Structure 1
Amino acid sequence: MTGTILTMGGGGFSMADDVSVPAPLDDLLLSLVPVPRGADGPPRVCFVGTASGDSPGYIERFETAFAGRAETSTVQLFDYGTIPGGDLRAHVLAQDVIYVGGGSTANLLVLWRLHGLDALLREAAGAGTVLTGISAGMNCWYDASVTDSYGPLAGLSDGVGLLPGSACPHYDGEAERRPTYLDLVATGRLPDGYAADDGAALLWRDGELVEAVSERPGARAFRVRRQGDEAVEEPLDVRLLA
């Protein structure tokens, strides 16, 4: 059982012009928490900024975006002293939502494994914590992904593996994302997978795709499969969030 995971190709507070205005994808995320763990309190949402080196500015945007709507906290692997009591496992398992920010997918995976955070997130998902993320925070949950962690876009077959296949965020947001991903799937360097435009996201429960959603009109999502020597895009129905 892998629990509930919302993978964002782009959007949410990370890409908002005004983080004080709730982003529809972030509203959806909070609605996925059936009963907050805190007694009569708001959902506990923890931001993991490993991929950006725990950027203070990114953390500040997160805290502003969820102020008054959630009990916010962070996991900062670059400053372990910020973790309450230094008990990473207890802190992670106490959260309703783990929100992973963008940045370097490769660096994120290395540090998570060094600290055992990948295993803790798997445990948390099985215990009911909702997992989510944008960009690298989308990539990390799948078996594989396309990333610019090494400079030019390339395949990375080294994900946490809670979700099947490969992932490509920013499908329409960066000119080389789509052609690179299609080539990687067509040549078998990445397995079949899923792509999401900026503003679009994929909602998964227990390893099964539930639906594709978007906070931006026209944002798309695709299932991408290898057929012979080509990659074929299968458009997914996308529900526009209010």
Structure 2
Amino acid sequence: MAVAPERRLALLGGGFSTDDDGLLDDWVLDQVSVPRPRVCFIPTASGDAPGYVEQFLQAYQPRSCVPGVLYLFRRELDDDALRTFLLSQDVVYVGGGNTANLLAIWRTHGVDRLLREAFERGTLLCGVSAGANCWAEASHTDSFGPLTHLADGLGLLTGSVCPHYDSEPGRRASYQAAVANRVLQAGWAVEDGVGALFTDGRLTDSVTRIPQARLYRVQPGRAGAVDEQAVPCRLLAAARPSTPPA
């Protein structure tokens, strides 16, 4: 009997668009066993911003991978070509921006269904900010201006997600209040610098490029309180340059 592929996704608190060291990008590629993985960047949440796409290409073209970009604001692929393209990817990396707009546009073009199919086939799904929010059942977002909740994710990860937990004013308190009041389900709060890998719905790796950065499990507590538990994160280290022979 054939063994079903592992279903994996990663929440990122950074990457090529914010970090100079490339540690989280290297960590993402390390999760794929093929020699030159195909990596598709989806910049929908930023409106396919050209500068964002250029950042991705500059970061990933020198790496041992085959980078590509899926444009939806100037879509060039018909339905069959779109499905073939997405299902041929080893990694799908979703950029930040507006989570609500991202989900609406994906559903218009059927990308949500294709990503679910890719997920079931073993493609690693990952992303930062909106690109982390989108995979869960619900998320904490500023898609509508003020910080609020969005109970409208793809549901590939049970519960909720909150990005920028330590770096944006009001994030921590607002997310904790939403979880404590059960407006949002229990979930994962990601500080900048952190990466969290989920395999078949379970947390299987948590890393950080910043010693003090953390991943948190946030759940409702007693009497309207909230229970926040820090998850140990493995510190990523930059590769040492090789020493030339004497």
TM-score (norm 2): 0.90
- After TM superposition, give the deviation of residue 127 of structure 1 in Å: 1.2
- After TM superposition, give the deviation of residue 211 of structure 1 in Å: 2.3
Deviations 1:7-53 (A, max 9, x none): 11x2110212x4xx5x11110111111125xxxxx211110000000
Which of 125, 144, 153 lines up with 1:150 in the alignment?
A: 144
How is 1:78-97 mapped onto 2 (pairs within 5 angstroms)? 78-81=73-76, 83=77, 87-97=81-91
How is 1:31-42 mapped onto 2 (pairs within 5 angstroms)? 31-36=30-35, 42=36
For the residue of structure 1 that corresponds to 2:16, the secondary structure is: helix
Q: Do the aligned residues in 2 keep the contact of 1:166 with 1:193 (CA within 8 Å)?
A: yes
For the residue of structure 2 that corresponds to 1:46, the secondary structure is: strand
Code of the aligned partner of 1:190: L
Counterpart in the other structure of 1:5 = 9
Query: Equivalents in 2 of 1:84, 1:151: separation in Å?
Result: 34
How is 1:1-242 mapped onto 2 (pairs within 5 angstroms)? 3-8=7-12, 10-16=13-19, 18=20, 23-36=22-35, 42-69=36-63, 70-81=65-76, 83=77, 87-228=81-222, 229-242=224-237
For the residue of structure 2 that corresponds to 1:87, the secondary structure is: helix
- After TM superposition, give the deviation of residue 71 of structure 1 in Å: 1.0
Query: What's the Cα RMSD here?
Result: 1.5
Going from structure 1 to structure 2, the CA distance change for 1:161 and 1:2 (only over 3 Å counts) comes to farther
Going from structure 1 to structure 2, the CA distance change for 1:112 and 1:35 (only over 3 Å counts) comes to same
For the residue of structure 2 that corresponds to 1:133, the secondary structure is: strand
Query: Percent of aligned positions with the same letter in both sequences?
Result: 50
Unaligned runs of 5+ in 2: 238-246
Unaligned runs of 5+ in 1: 37-41
Structure number, greater radius of gyration = 2
Question: Which is worse superposed, 102-111 or 67-76?
Answer: 67-76
Going from structure 1 to structure 2, the CA distance change for 1:146 and 1:97 (only over 3 Å counts) comes to same
Q: How many residues align?
A: 231
Going from structure 1 to structure 2, the CA distance change for 1:85 and 1:113 (only over 3 Å counts) comes to closer
Code of the aligned partner of 1:209: L
Query: Equivalents in 2 of 1:84, 1:127: separation in Å?
Result: 21
For the residue of structure 1 that corresponds to 2:143, the secondary structure is: coil
